[in-house]
Chains A and B, each alone.
Chain A
């Protein structure tokens, strides 16, 4: 039998095993499984508890979002992007609106930019909280889930007050915002920041130095920075492997260059480092929110955008740093009111490719931990 460790990390097509190998057990995890975060199906080849290899089967949540885009006007397609990564809908909206704005060569006014940053960072926070809760639940700690959901609720309340929706917010419009911030928006956000800062310590108290948590996450699902880049993995997973790459700093969009924040990186590229990176990211998000709320300017919230959005012929690729990694939109315009082609580069889909590499030679329980630490949303993987 081949030792899974001897396979080179990117040797993705391992030779087929003989059909009746008594040592090998093929089990099917999902698409209905409590720990696959939706409808991911993983076919595991096991030797006892050890994983020899795995294969992801996706597409159970495919809705043809990219095809739908070709039959909708630019404005009509805007709400659809919220349904991809539904736990970070605001980020999706930001990416799409900015891509179309770039195509139209307009820029949202400063006030709109600030409100966009506040909402996007709140959404990053919410997404990371949801990740933390479910990840800890997968590893067997059931309590953090309730703590994070309790605090995520406060973010959703702000969204609800701002635009009426909690999850699929459709908060932004092409060229700026539809709604002015409601009265007391700044106060609510500030209150939230001071409310949630001690709560993050509370999550860390339960996990960061917990012996069992350390044993379950340290050295689990290790992936090197080189492999990350080879596989196109982005976001916290890439940063935890020691690559300092965050589009907010690397290719500033919105007005992130005005804010002072740090990009946390890890060293070992294991599950524990990814956990720490995301915990620091939550605190950095709060820092950005605080600065944005303090510096929010007065002024219009909508740039001059024609009633019928009709970008000139051309193509554009615009990407932003979504909570899960690089979220890119590639739009080809033929000069009509509808995109000729719209392609989404979803971070979850690309990051999921690394699952096989990260799980080779691990135990069954690690597969669950690694799926959790990749922070995938199946709505985005399948689109």
Chain B
């Protein structure tokens, strides 16, 4: 048994690919935990960042700077009465949030946080991700239909139309990125998520900069489509508060509602991961070509520790600025403790053995975090599209551009071959 566990450690494959069930289980647990923490952190960050964009403070009462607010909210949701409308279709109503959450979490099976840091590596990774993540639309339609109420029904209709139509543009953008992976000596591309990042490493360029501006346009299409796919502002019509109160989850409350919430945020992380993997070099560190050599490698590997130390410094700074009233003593101590914990993590991350293993995950998470910030930023600045305009953007703008980029990418990619066969046969 111990031998079985140990045998994986020297492997340079993902646990799934190596067929080691124990480590696969450990990875699944870690991903699940990490994702839950990320959703909680994202909840707090969204409220704080949005609040600061809107000249207000956001949560300040539960814990220092509202740090415990998401936990308090989660507790509240768990304790709330679980209401099911009398006229609802019970089984479907019960299934819908489960399906949405399952789809959102299953996607992470193939997300590569590093060359070996993924649960498994599938040769159809991208296809799997797109397929599974689009399953969540089923849950949304089920939720809207089973609620047996007008507003959720309209929300579900909008949502299904929106997700289906943006998936087309999204797919075209993905294909053009996948096509770029085939530009090697063998001329064979790959759909494996790890393979795509390795192709970017081998070609020495992130696909966003490849065939400038083709890669950039494809990335842009994906970036727009992924916001629509996750039903976030400015494409948040299915849950447009001012029109449909809460859209498809109007009739949901308590734990079931929190499942939708969890699914929405993990879906945001999931599609951002696809974007990062396909265009932004996945786990690769920035400037791998210009800033080379062991010194730069060392500098970049120090980043995770430095980030945590900076966060700790922010905590300590806020601790000093806390009101000096006895009522704030617990909060002040708590914040200092949180800072100390962050600093400790930062210090551990400087240990060479940890440093090397964590660096990939760090860069991947940072790139995803950038997308998360964009999501919040969009929400703070954009009004909401109307349904017909949304469809227009999807079908009349993104889809033709996506097709054009696909054809152009193929042409540019095959240019040497075309030259050889047509002009110099």
Contacts and interface: CB of A to CB of B under 8 A. Distances in A.
A365 B383 contact: no
A365 B386 contact: yes
A136 to B, nearest CB: 7
A225 B2 CA distance: 84
A216 B55 contact: no
A44 to B, nearest CB: 10
Contact of B53 (A48, A140, A143): A143
B56 interface: yes
Interface stretch (A27-35, A66-74, A86-94, A117-125): A27-35
Given A49-B154, A150-B55, A368 B242 contact: yes
A306 B16 CA distance: 94
A142 B154 contact: no
Main secondary structure of the interface of B (DSSP, over half): helix
For chain B, give the interface size range.
20 to 34
For chain A, give the interface size range.
20 to 34
Contact of A147 (B55, B233, B242): B55
A215 interface: yes
Interface in B331-381: 379-381
A365 B389 CA distance: 11
Contacts of B244: 364
A206 interface: yes
A137 B242 contact: yes
A366 interface: yes
B94 interface: no
A212 B228 CA distance: 14
Contacts of B242: 34-35, 137-140, 368
B241 interface: yes
Given A27-B150, A33-B245, A35-B243, A140 B387 contact: no
Most chain A beta carbons < 10 A, residue from B53, B234, B382, B387: B382
B76 interface: no
Most chain A beta carbons < 10 A, residue from B50, B384, B386: B386
A93 to B, nearest CB: 31
B243 A364 contact: yes
B385 interface: yes
Most chain B beta carbons < 10 A, residue from A28, A136, A206, A365: A365
Contact of A141 (B50, B158, B381): B381
Contacts of A145: 54
Contact of B236 (A49, A140, A146, A367): A140
B387 A142 contact: no
A280 interface: no
Contacts of B31: none
B241 A212 contact: no
A255 interface: no
A215 B55 contact: no
B151 interface: yes
Contacts of B389: 215-216
A23 B289 CA distance: 61
B388 interface: yes
A365 to B, nearest CB: 5
A317 interface: no
Given A140-B233, A143-B53, A216 B382 contact: no
Contacts of B259: none
B383 A34 contact: no
A48 B158 CA distance: 10
A10 B151 CA distance: 29
A363 interface: yes
A210 interface: yes
B378 to A, nearest CB: 10
Contacts of A216: 383-386, 389
Interface string B386-408: 11110000000000000000000
A25 interface: yes
A138 B384 CA distance: 9
B240 interface: yes
A213 interface: yes
Contacts of A147: 54-55
A366 B388 CA distance: 11
A141 B383 contact: yes
B92 to A, nearest CB: 21
Nearest to B242: A35
Contact of B383 (A25, A35, A213): A213
Interface in A343-383: 363-368
A365 B243 contact: yes
Contact of B380 (A33, A49, A143, A364): A143
A319 B388 CA distance: 42
B401 to A, nearest CB: 16
A201 to B, nearest CB: 16
Given A143-B54, A365-B240, 12 more contacts: A34-B241, A49-B154, A49-B387, A139-B384, A141-B383, A147-B54, A210-B382, A212-B234, A212-B383, A216-B386, A363-B388, A365-B386
Interface of A: 25, 27-28, 33-35, 48-49, 136-143, 145-147, 150, 206-207, 210, 212-213, 215-216, 363-368
25 contacts: A27-B151, A28-B150, A34-B242, A34-B245, A35-B243, A49-B387, A49-B388, A138-B242, A140-B236, A140-B240, A140-B242, A141-B382, A141-B383, A141-B384, A146-B54, A210-B383, A213-B383, A216-B383, A216-B384, A363-B387, A363-B388, A364-B154, A364-B243, A365-B240, A365-B386
Q: Which 8 A/B pairs are nearest by Cβ-Cβ distance?
A: A140-B384, A35-B242, A146-B54, A141-B383, A140-B383, A138-B242, A27-B150, A139-B383
